[in-house]
Chains A and B, each alone.
Chain A
């Protein structure tokens, strides 16, 4: 069964293969994304992150999930030599470059814990897929042509891992290089990362996009990540293990 809902300003899709599936299982997933949005959305005045940015609450008052996300953000910042940085120019925090993948991963874990084995959870183009699709094959994920929205340029087979893509504009927010915030990233338009799960894929897609063309070299050095980078001239550069995941 496929269900879709618009939450966090983007379409969220869940497809689950299974006889024991109930409407409640689906509703729980969407309710979880709703909850994440209410806590982490910098667009919502009443969200916890907005309260933190207005210094209305102290670190002792942070929720457990906020603490977790902030710790993961700090860890990612260190692992990416500072290219992942949730602190904006004005000093406020915006962890959205990591929260989406984190939330998809958590939602997928919840489904696994309930015993579902064949499903995917997708939000705004980032996906965690498990098991097989209704045809008994691995889930197929197309990489969108950044120049032609209705075209795909690559097909990835996905099962038990995660895929995320960062682009020139993502949810209306511009990803920028924290070391050179005023310089727009104009040399690459799309970076897709395959990771052991969507959390890993999403945070490294964000950080490596900010690195520009060097991002694919960074991915090449990571043993558990593969990448497909499309530059402004429509040329793609891929990590050496990327084609192992594609469907010919």
Chain B
């Protein structure tokens, strides 16, 4: 009898997990292609976007402005990344970008993005930050994901 119960629990958990993943997918599919100008978050179930916007308004005017942007978390609009929708949330602390997180990400579920973003164990890491230095040469990807840039640019425009 005990075996049956354990089996049933396992089956139920697995089924729930599958349902949860599919449900997550559906969320992404029903997202309307948001206008670039609009700044509303696209899905009602998107708690990350909602909380991000709230914390942004909560912080405004209360923090000393040391950098280019106002402190808080800002969520950009959903942009079409060709192979899926993309939406980023940018966190500003001390006037600088301290975190860029994906609210929506093409091809990958949130779970896999988090796994991918895990730190490599022994190499030094840092959040990238703009440098004020004059250089003779610039090395860089000549064109990065336009969709990512669009969503991020809009999020940062809100932070100004």
Contacts and interface: CB of A to CB of B under 8 A. Distances in A.
Interface of A: 10, 13, 15, 120, 122, 124-127, 129, 133, 139-149, 151-156, 158, 163-172, 184, 186-187, 189-190, 192, 213, 216-217, 220, 230-240, 242-243, 247
Instruction: Summarize B's interface: helix, strand, loop or mixed.
Output: loop
Instruction: Summarize A's interface: helix, strand, loop or mixed.
Output: strand
B142 A235 contact: no
7 contacts: A125-B139, A125-B140, A142-B131, A156-B139, A186-B107, A234-B128, A247-B133
Contact of B123 (A127, A139, A216): A216
A239 B135 contact: no
Interface stretch (B6-14, B33-41, B94-102): B94-102
B contact residues, range = 35 or more
Nearest to A232: B102
B54 interface: no
A237 B133 contact: no
A152 B130 contact: yes
Contacts of A192: 139-140
B137 A186 contact: no
Nearest to B115: A187
Interface stretch (B24-32, B44-52, B55-63, B143-151): B143-151
Nearest to B114: A233
Contact of A171 (B108, B113, B142): B142
A71 to B, nearest CB: 27
B1 interface: no
A82 to B, nearest CB: 22
Nearest to A220: B123
A172 B143 contact: yes
A232 to B, nearest CB: 7
Contacts of A238: 123-126
A42 to B, nearest CB: 17
Contacts of B99: 233-234
B138 interface: yes
Given A147-B100, A153-B130, A240 B139 contact: no
Nearest to A165: B139
B139 A151 contact: no
Contact of A155 (B119, B125, B133, B143): B133
Given A184-B107, A231-B117, A235-B128, A167 B102 contact: no
Nearest to B100: A234
Contact of A127 (B120, B133, B139): B139
Given A122-B137, A192-B139, A216-B123, A145 B116 contact: no
